Chains A and B, each alone.
Chain A
Amino acid sequence: VAPDPYGEDCRSKMYPPSGPTFKGNVPTYIINLDLPPSKRWDELIRAKKTELKAVIQNIKDIANTFFPSGKIVDIVDHKISHLTDTLPYPFNEELQGIANSSGIPLGEIVIFNIFYEIFTV
């Protein structure tokens, strides 16, 4: 068996994280479960709206590369949102709340949340 061209000896003394393999720390937010589901994510989404929009736009660009007609994105924006009605409480209301506070179409928020199921093949 050929050696892994990208393999290396076991690293040591990498902690605390720093140097070229460390890109940064991660902020912490509180999600208050006592709030109505549609309001729980407001603070976080207000802070991360731009970043979330960038990710979703990136995924849409990839979809449009494979389906230049734009039909896939159109279906997601106009049909997939109806899927929310079939999702269990409180998740359906949380997704609606995220769509409301981000201004991102509900269908795109739903797709972002079921990416796992789509990509397991």
Chain B
Amino acid sequence: CTSIVAEDSTGKLYHARNLDFGLFLGWDVKNNSWTVTRELKPTVVNLDFQRNNKTVFRSTNFAGYIGMVSGVKPDLFTLTMNERFSLDGGYIGIFEWFLGRRDGMWMGFLTRSVLENATSYQDAKDKLAKTRLLAPAYFILGGKNSGEGCVITRSRTAALDIWDLDIKKGTWYVIETNYDRWKPPLVLDNRRTPAMKCLNQTSQENISLPTIYDVLSTKPVLNKLTVCTTLMEVDKGHTETYLRECPDPCSPW
């Protein structure tokens, strides 16, 4: 996955992501595609969660999946989750759960709870950083006010790093591509460098949802695992999602 939170020169925040899923889950030689990635596309839906006929939050989901990987709480915050691979992975958390240790949260349930119940950007940030999890993860959070944007790198038990927007120091965007930011990405899977190159080329003055869509449409940021692209603005909870295709030649991940 690739997630981006960016702030334009007027202080407006944008949040967007490519949802990549299905690595090693069956390769269709005939169509040059991952089979699960292809089968997932017709299940993608936008959801409007309402209480008393009023929107509480909106999300982009796979039908049948009740957790959240992309969502917006109108006028408060935007949230995406990226997978973080680790030897201390979710299978250990599941094993502990079966053994009776159940003080951790399943990732999808935490993001759902945060979108449903958090009352501010800071409240969401605290919950995502401090709640014990069954699996490591990256949480990418955007707010409503200038400087409210961060990438939270999580182990199962703690926040290893929180990378905040810092406009005064020139950090007008944060980006996450399934690798810890203090380590180089895998040589065979470097989506971070091309995405940063395109963001820098776009510049803060010209950043907008359409120009972020351009970044997310550039190979290999767009790749054979990309199921959809979601664009979000916190104001009024604006969200739009498009199913994607990566015509050959295209990186398999």
How far, in whole Å, are A88 and B103 apart by their CA atoms in the complex? 11
* Set of chain A residues within 8 Å of B251, measured between Cβ atoms: 4, 6
Indicate if A76 sits at the interface (CB-CB under 8 A).
Answer: no
- Nearest CB of B to A79, in Å: 10
Residues of B within 8 A of A48 (CB): 42-43, 45, 63-64
Residue B163, interface by CB 8 Å: no
Number of interface residues of B (CB under 8 A): 79
Residue of B at shortest CB range from A50? B42
Q: Which residues of B, 61-96, contact A by the 8 Å Cβ criterion?
A: 62-67, 83-87, 89-91, 93-94
- The answer on a CB contact under 8 Å between B245 and A27 is no
12 A–B contacts from the bound complex (CB under 8 Å):
A15-B213, A26-B46, A34-B52, A48-B45, A54-B39, A88-B109, A91-B109, A114-B94, A118-B91, A119-B83, A120-B84, A121-B86
Q: What is the interface of chain B, defined by CB distance below 8 A to chain A?
A: 25-26, 35-36, 39-52, 56, 60, 62-67, 83-87, 89-91, 93-94, 97, 102, 106-109, 112, 116, 134-137, 187, 190, 194, 197-198, 201-202, 209-211, 213-215, 217-220, 222-223, 228-229, 241-247, 249-251
18 new A-B contacts, CB < 8 A, other than A12-B211, A25-B242, A120-B135, are: A4-B190, A6-B219, A14-B214, A16-B210, A20-B247, A21-B217, A23-B244, A25-B243, A29-B48, A47-B63, A48-B43, A55-B40, A91-B66, A91-B106, A94-B66, A112-B65, A113-B64, A119-B83
